[in-house]
Structure 1
Amino acid sequence: MPSLYKGLCLLTSVLCLTGEASADAVTDLQTKGRTAINAQLAKSTTCNAANLMVRKEWGDVPADGRRAYIKAVQCLLTSPSKLSASQFPGAKSRYDDFVVTHIQQTLSIHGTGNFLSWHRYFTWAYEQALRNECGYNGTQPYWDYGRWAADPEKSPIFDGSDTSMSGNGKKVSHQATSIGPAQNGGGCVETGPFANMTVHLGPVSPLADPAPPRNPRSDGFGDNSRCLRRDLGPGLTSKYATTSILASLITGRKDIGTFQNDLQSAGGFGGGMGVHGAAHFTIGSDPGGDFYTSPGDPAFWLLHGGIDRLWTIWQSQDLPNRMQVIAGGTSMMGGGAAQKLTDNVDISNVAGKVYQIKDLVSVVDGPFCYVYE
């Protein structure tokens, strides 16, 4: 499996914007764009106001709603995998099936024209598994990075309470990686609902100190049982994921190529980092610090709910002209053909239907029927 160091270097350069915005500048843009989404909803043949679902920030979800979500995630973690045990011996649970899917496609879904649509479908499929396989009645929550940028550990997402996605890893002596600083954890997660979680798959291309144990298979699909580790801290979010930066990303990028590149951290500006990379390496450690196996940390889904929300808000500022547009190639390392709207998005390990990108660009069309609030 090729090293991601070169790719990650490409994915960690973005213009570092300065200045402060109001605490709800991004929410203001979300509210502004809702009129356009409502107009699209009125034209939809698959989604209507009666079945429209609302995704909320974790801090805005009532405690009982958070507990219900956590219970459903734990259900996936204890439900058997549907994949071949001989082909994927490290896939011990239904949850692991999603990690396998991400590992398989990592090099064709990052820094590519399908990055946003692929992860939209992937996150939605996870939401559907929680609902259809584990009895969850809610929606996929998201992480508003700007709201908690100054101290992610104090957010209700990572405060270690019984209504959190668990806290930081145990504070251990460790060093910075080539991507991010050494922060306030580095060891096993010991608080909250996922304190005893076992990670099985990967690593494939880890960026963590101390380094995680090697997988018995080079493709990362072997069983490599170990604890969930995190290295939370404000070192990246406070610099690269504040509300002002998120708002400027939405208002200052007029074309899809510039928007998605800067969002993914592939803008090539200076020595900064985009919000996608900043969020991933704020969680960091293992498996969160490995581009391949990052869905192995349950906070991944809140992270990508937040990414999808930013894309949705950006689209809604000029929705008729910002849906059926993509830019980029088909390989993370820069090779391959140009991505096309008719290219397939196939995550059949976890979702049976194969869609074309053009069917995944609206949150109120195709398989989707949700909005962000």
Structure 2
Amino acid sequence: MLSNTLWAALAVFGGLVNAGYPPDVVDKLAKNSMSKVKDWLAKNPQGECNLKTAIVRKEWSDLNKKQQKEYISAVLCLQSKPSKMSAEAPGAKSRFDDYVVVHVQQTMRNHGSTFFLPWHRLYLWHYENALRTECGYTGYQPYWNWDRYAKDPINSPLFDGSDTSMSGNGVFVPHAGVTIPTAPPPFDVIPPAEGGGCVTTGPFQNMSVNLGPLAPSLTDIKPNPQPDGLGYNPRCLRRDVNRNSAAVTTANYTYDLITNNKNMYWFQTTMEGQFPEGKWGVHSGGHYTVGGDPAGDFFVSPGDPVFWLHHAMIDRVWWIWQIQDLAKRLEDVSLTMTMMNMPPSRNGTLQDENNLGTLYGDVLTKDLMSTLGGMGGKLCYIYE
């Protein structure tokens, strides 16, 4: 048997960076569930989409350094291209900003509602496609396996500030932490961590955050010139990478989320969080692991490039949950048409429409349920 030292040496020689991350219980569940996917595809062929043709989305540290740098370059490219939505959002200066605009416009519709998971699947696919078609990216959207870095996120390959990271933490600025008004003590305050200021290391240290804030988690952010948050408000990227928040994203929480919730209502509700009961979800835990501005802002969080890796993990967890019982769960939708049913609205259905505003037209929820053949075959991917 090879020693850990030799395995590490071989990994470095081969260009890999994941030698220190053995499969966790969620990884093992996903791998052991692939036989169910094969059986389902045998009974329900999806045209040209199958396990041989499906693209594979991988974890950040399972990419080699060249692949990581290519992804980073594509994101920087998207940030350099002019906006297509500046007429409706004067603060949007880049194609990257366009995706923040869409999220701002639809935040109150696509969270705590029937649209949360299918809409974000469409959103993620469209962003991935933009990186590939507009910026020459040859890979696919990576995800952030929260468990790998939960104990020490600041020193992880994602946040260590190296040229193959998504940039580092913010400089330390004394602050009070994040208050969650709907949660009871002691869950209503996330203690501050070691950042809070501008990000000064890594590929995104010079990026400009142009939109928002609307629901800032820091108190010293200059207000947006427009009440809708879509005016031009340039400032630095700020983070407060926080292990207190990361503690609720370890693999045991994700595994329990997948295996203990048998219908969409409880799966999604548990994932998003039940703050009145003091129960965080992995969705909120991941966002607040990054914190700062804009990642700590409910509306403009896609303005931090790490958002996309977080939501790829959200989509991966949904995918793993779905493949436990594809026949049933590809048709399982829940909740209403409005966030937390405010104002009261009807239950969502598979026939409801999702869109990305002016970026992309209507797609029925039923066409976003499967990653293998959804949207007439445009969705054809799995997670590794």
User: TM-score when scaled to structure 2?
Assistant: 0.87
Is 2:242–2:288's contact at 8 Å kept on the other side of the alignment?
no
**Partner in structure 2 of residue 369 of structure 1:** 380
Counterpart amino acid of residue 26 in structure 2: V
Q: Distance in 2 between matches of 1:28 and 1:211?
A: 43
**Partner in structure 1 of residue 317 of structure 2:** 310
1:47, distance to aligned residue in structure 2 (A): 1.7
The equivalences for 1:248-267 within 5 A come to 248-266=256-274
Q: Secondary structure at the match of 1:187?
A: strand
2:194 to 174, 178, 184: 184
Q: Distance in 1 between matches of 2:229 and 2:41?
A: 41
- Whether 2:250 is the aligned partner of 1:233: answer no
- Evaluate the alpha carbon distance shift between residue 90 and residue 23 of structure 1 in structure 2; reply closer, same or farther with a 3 A threshold: same
The equivalences for 1:110-189 within 5 A come to 110-179=111-180, 180-189=190-199
**Partner in structure 2 of residue 292 of structure 1:** 299
Q: Secondary structure at the match of 2:50?
A: coil
Is 1:142–1:305's contact at 8 Å kept on the other side of the alignment?
yes
The equivalences for 1:27-42 within 5 A come to 27-42=27-42
**Partner in structure 1 of residue 347 of structure 2:** 338
Counterpart amino acid of residue 297 in structure 1: D
Q: Secondary structure at the match of 1:244?
A: helix
1:51, distance to aligned residue in structure 2 (A): 3.1
**Partner in structure 1 of residue 229 of structure 2:** 220
Counterpart amino acid of residue 63 in structure 1: K
Q: Distance in 2 between matches of 1:106 and 1:69?
A: 26
- Whether 2:327 is the aligned partner of 1:327: answer no
Gapped runs of 5+ residues in structure 2?
1-21, 181-189
2:289 to 282, 291, 294: 282
Q: Distance in 2 between matches of 1:71 and 1:64?
A: 10
**Partner in structure 2 of residue 108 of structure 1:** 109
Q: Distance in 2 between matches of 1:102 and 1:44?
A: 31
Q: Distance in 2 between matches of 1:227 and 1:38?
A: 47
Q: Secondary structure at the match of 1:188?
A: strand
Of stretches 328-337 and 252-261 in structure 1, the one that deviates more from structure 2 is 328-337
Q: Distance in 1 between matches of 2:201 and 2:39?
A: 44
1:154, distance to aligned residue in structure 2 (A): 1.5
Q: Distance in 2 between matches of 1:187 and 1:355?
A: 39
Q: Distance in 2 between matches of 1:206 and 1:47?
A: 42
- Evaluate the alpha carbon distance shift between residue 88 and residue 46 of structure 1 in structure 2; reply closer, same or farther with a 3 A threshold: farther
Counterpart amino acid of residue 79 in structure 1: K
**Partner in structure 1 of residue 15 of structure 2:** none
Q: Distance in 2 between matches of 1:87 and 1:349?
A: 10
Counterpart amino acid of residue 349 in structure 1: T
Counterpart amino acid of residue 31 in structure 1: K
1:101-139 Cα distance to aligned partner (Å, 9 max, x none): 000000010001110000011011100000011000101
Q: Distance in 2 between matches of 1:69 and 1:311?
A: 24
Superposed CA RMSD in Å reads 1.5
Of stretches 68-77 and 329-338 in structure 1, the one that deviates more from structure 2 is 329-338
Is 1:41–1:47's contact at 8 Å kept on the other side of the alignment?
no
Is 1:77–1:93's contact at 8 Å kept on the other side of the alignment?
yes
1:262, distance to aligned residue in structure 2 (A): 0.3
Q: Distance in 1 between matches of 2:145 and 2:291?
A: 17
Q: Distance in 2 between matches of 1:110 and 1:354?
A: 18
1:167-191 Cα distance to aligned partner (Å, 9 max, x none): 1011111111213221110000000
**Partner in structure 2 of residue 76 of structure 1:** 78
Is 1:106–1:292's contact at 8 Å kept on the other side of the alignment?
yes
Is 1:294–1:300's contact at 8 Å kept on the other side of the alignment?
yes
- Evaluate the alpha carbon distance shift between residue 233 and residue 267 of structure 1 in structure 2; reply closer, same or farther with a 3 A threshold: closer
Is 1:68–1:136's contact at 8 Å kept on the other side of the alignment?
yes
Counterpart amino acid of residue 305 in structure 1: A
Q: Distance in 1 between matches of 2:54 and 2:47?
A: 13
1:289, distance to aligned residue in structure 2 (A): 1.0
**Partner in structure 1 of residue 19 of structure 2:** none
Q: Distance in 1 between matches of 2:89 and 2:122?
A: 23
Of stretches 334-343 and 250-259 in structure 1, the one that deviates more from structure 2 is 334-343
Q: Distance in 1 between matches of 2:28 and 2:165?
A: 26
Q: Distance in 1 between matches of 2:153 and 2:358?
A: 32
- Evaluate the alpha carbon distance shift between residue 356 and residue 267 of structure 1 in structure 2; reply closer, same or farther with a 3 A threshold: farther
- Evaluate the alpha carbon distance shift between residue 320 and residue 164 of structure 1 in structure 2; reply closer, same or farther with a 3 A threshold: same
Q: Distance in 2 between matches of 1:212 and 1:194?
A: 19
1:128-156 Cα distance to aligned partner (Å, 9 max, x none): 00001100010100011111111111211
1:266, distance to aligned residue in structure 2 (A): 3.3
1:270-293 Cα distance to aligned partner (Å, 9 max, x none): 313110001111111111111110
Counterpart amino acid of residue 196 in structure 1: N
Report how many aligned residue pairs link the two structures. 347
- Evaluate the alpha carbon distance shift between residue 260 and residue 46 of structure 1 in structure 2; reply closer, same or farther with a 3 A threshold: farther
Of stretches 48-57 and 67-76 in structure 1, the one that deviates more from structure 2 is 48-57
Bigger Rg, which one: 2
Q: Distance in 1 between matches of 2:366 and 2:260?
A: 24
Is 1:107–1:333's contact at 8 Å kept on the other side of the alignment?
no
Is 2:242–2:291's contact at 8 Å kept on the other side of the alignment?
no
Q: Distance in 2 between matches of 1:336 and 1:154?
A: 45
